[in-house]
C-alpha cells in the first residue's frame, strides 16, 4: 500500500492483510470535517454513528481510546473467529466470515474536528449477509406474529369445540331424561294393564 498503515488492532487473516496492502491510496477513505454536525450524514450513510454501532452489530469495536477520542471499527463479516481470543466479546448477532475488508478509524479531536480513515467498501458477499440478516429479522417478526395468530385460532377453536361439546351434552341429558320419563310412563301403563287382566 502507500504511506497508510493498517491498524494493528484489526483481526485479519494473512490473505486479508495482503489484500488491504495491495489497495491503492485512492481506494481508502481519509476525510476530516470541521464540525461533528457536518460529519453526521457521512457516518450515518456508512452505519458508523456511535448510536448505530450499538444497534447494528454489523460493526464491532476493535479498539477504543476515550481520552483521545479514537474508535476503531471492523466489519463483523471480516472477522475470522478462529483468530480471536476467548476474552473478546462476540457480537450478539452472528455473521458468517466472508473476508470483508471494511474498517473505519474515527477520531474526535479536542477542537471538535472529526476525522475518518479506513476502507468502507463492503464486499458483495458481506452485503448479501446483511440482506440475509434483514430477511431473518422480518421472518422472525412475521413468524412471531403468525405464531400468535395460530395460538389465538387454537384457543378460539378449542373454545368452540368446548361450547359444542357442552351443548351436545346438554341435549343428550335432555333426551336421556325424556327417554327415562317415557320408560317410566310405559312401565306404569304395563302395571295398570296387568292389574286390569287380573
pLDDT in tens, 103-132: 999 998 777 788 999 999 999 888 877 655
* CA-based torsion, 88, 92, 94, 95: positive or negative: negative
Q: In whole angstroms, what is the distance from residue 75 CA to residue 62 CA?
A: 10
Per-chain mean pLDDT for the chain = 76
2 has pLDDT over 50: no
HSE, side-chain direction, 13 A CA sphere, residue 124: 0
Q: How confident is the model at residue 66 (pLDDT cuts 50, 70, 90)?
A: confident
Q: Give the pLDDT mean for 152-163.
A: 64
Contact 119, 103 (CB under 8 A): yes
* pLDDT-above-70 percentage for the chain: 63
The residues, ordered by sequence, that sit 6+ positions from 95 with a Cβ below 8 Å of its Cβ are 58, 76, 77, 129, 133
Indicate if the pLDDT at residue 136 is higher than 60: no
Contact 99, 15 (CB under 8 A): yes
**Cα–Cα distance for residue pair 46/79, rounded to 1 Å:** 18
Indicate if the alpha-carbon torsion angle 18, 22, 26, 27 is positive or negative. negative
Amino acid at each position: 500500500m502507500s504511506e497508510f498503515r493498517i491498524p494493528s488492532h484489526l483481526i485479519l487473516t494473512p490473505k486479508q492483510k495482503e489484500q488491504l496492502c495491495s489497495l491503492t491510496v485512492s481506494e481508502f477513505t481519509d476525510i476530516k470535517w470541521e464540525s461533528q454536525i457536518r460529519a453526521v450524514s457521512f457516518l450515518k450513510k456508512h452505519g458508523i454513528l456511535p448510536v448505530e454501532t450499538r444497534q447494528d452489530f454489523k460493526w464491532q469495536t476493535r479498539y477504543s481510546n476515550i481520552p483521545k477520542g479514537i474508535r476503531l471499527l471492523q466489519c463483523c463479516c471480516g472477522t475470522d473467529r478462529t483468530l480471536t481470543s476467548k476474552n473478546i466479546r462476540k457480537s450478539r448477532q452472528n455473521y458468517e466470515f466472508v473476508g470483508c475488508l471494511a474498517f473505519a478509524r474515527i477520531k474526535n479531536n479536542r477542537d471538535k474536528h472529526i476525522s475518518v480513515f479506513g476502507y468502507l467498501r463492503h464486499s458483495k458477499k458481506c452485503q448479501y449477509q446483511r440482506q440475509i440478516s434483514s430477511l431473518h429479522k422480518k421472518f422472525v417478526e412475521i413468524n412471531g406474529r403468525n405464531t400468535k395468530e395460530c395460538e389465538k385460532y387454537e384457543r378460539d377453536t378449542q373454545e368452540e369445540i368446548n361450547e359444542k361439546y357442552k351443548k351436545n351434552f346438554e341435549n343428550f341429558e335432555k333426551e336421556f331424561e325424556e327417554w327415562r320419563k317415557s320408560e317410566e310412563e310405559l312401565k306404569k301403563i304395563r302395571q295398570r294393564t296387568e292389574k286390569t287382566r287380573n
